[in-house]
């Protein structure tokens, strides 16, 4: 059995904030059990902080 998962953790408004907070417990349990996961929120956060505004505008133009 494969012990990994992807979690998105949306946090855009009050409704998705609930899911964001609830998923923290899931990540804590995964850490305790040694289950690997990809936190999409952290990926997006990292992408946005390392990508310049020019690059983001280019991606928007290319609609990637």
pLDDT in the model for residue 63: 67
For residues 39 and 24, the answer to whether their CB atoms sit within 8 Å is no
pLDDT score at 61 = 67
The whole domain housing 34 covers 4-62
Task: Give residue 2's pLDDT.
Answer: 64
pLDDT at 28: 92
- pTM for the model: 0.56
Burial 43-58 (b: 16+ CB within 10 A, else e): eeeeeeeeeeeeeeee
- The count of structural domains within the chain is 1
pLDDT in tens, the chain (64 residues): 567 777 777 777 888 888 888 888 888 998 999 888 888 777 777 776 777 777 767 766 676 5
């Amino acid at each position: 059995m494969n012990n990994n998962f992807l979690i998105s953790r949306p946090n855009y408004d009050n409704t998705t904030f609930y899911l964001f907070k609830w998923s923290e417990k899931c990540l804590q349990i995964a850490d305790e059990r040694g289950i690997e996961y990809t936190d999409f929120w952290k990926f997006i956060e990292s992408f946005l902080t390392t990508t310049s505004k020019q690059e983001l505008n280019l991606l928007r133009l290319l609609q990637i």
